[in-house]
Structure 1
Amino acid sequence: MFSKRRSLRIAVVGALGTASLALAGSAMAATPAAHATTAVVAHSQAAKPGITAKPSVASVRAWQLFRVTGKATGLKAGSQVTLQQKQHGKWVSLPASTPVHRDGSYSLGVKLGIKGKNDLRIVNGGTASPVFNVTVR
């Protein structure tokens, strides 16, 4: 009887040990895949293009020159960024564009003639900066 219990105990301990190794092995196998997925997601978010824009003034006279400066991330040097103006509910590209420098910065000279509050943004393809305003008086 004593040897029967002992062999049963060894069999149960052996089965539990094998099960815990199998679980640990599957957890270890899942861990690198989870980390790889996280790394891919983080990399794709970091590569997403973005544009910032800041006007040099908040208000100008009609046809007075001012500058819009900013940074473009995720865009190649030499890529063109263009100024857009909201007119009658639609974004219209203006004849004002400039290339992005190697460090991602750009500077654009602008003259506006439509009086009042002008909603503006800088775009490159499907990437757009947040909307900013310049009032023409």
Structure 2
Amino acid sequence: MPGRVYVNMRIATVSVMSAALVATGATAAVAAPAKAPAPKATITLKVSATKVELGDVVTFTGKAARLKEGSKVTLQIKDGAKWVSLPAAAKVKKSAYKLTDKFEKKGVDVLRVKDGSTVSKPVSVTVR
């Protein structure tokens, strides 16, 4: 008989633990899933020519994913460690943009396009 009480206690303990696990699992399954963060806006940048002559006009185009229609993208040039906005700007239309700029100084210019906190990867243009 003492062996039988031990077996019954063991079965009771396993049953209580199993019920607790099932209850916990059921609660976790019912909990609302966490919302995934909204995808970030992105801007791409393509340049019509990476090597140009002094005074040439260069066309910049790209896609603007998840930016509002009509958003203004601005061309920026790297000046030392900081980015400086140029007068060249365009509005996003059908998730795309197109703008031009004329280069009036020889050298290598590093440029990007920006809208708010969203920036493109930089591109280099060599002006001869």
User: TM-score scaled to structure 1, two decimals?
Assistant: 0.80
CA RMSD, Structure 1 to Structure 2 (Å):
2.1
- Please report how far the alpha carbon of residue 10 of structure 1 lies from its aligned counterpart in structure 2 after TM superposition: 2.9
Residue number in structure 2 paired with 1:71: 63
Amino acid at match of 1:74: R
- Paired amino acid for 2:21: L
Identity of aligned residues (%): 38
Gap regions ≥5 residues in structure 2: none
Distance 1:77 1:57 in 2: 27
Aligned with 1:61 (options 53, 69, 85):
53
Q: Which has the higher helix share?
A: 1
In structure 1, stretches of 5+ residues that fail to align are: none
If each structure's strand is expressed as a fraction of its own residues, which one has the higher value?
2
Distance (Å, rounded) in 2 between the aligned partners of 1:135 and 1:30: 59
How many aligned positions are there?
128
Structure 1 residue identity aligned to 2:28:
A
Q: What is residue 97 of structure 2 aligned with on the other side?
A: 106
Partner of 1:13: 11
| Counterpart check, 1:129 vs 2:126 | no
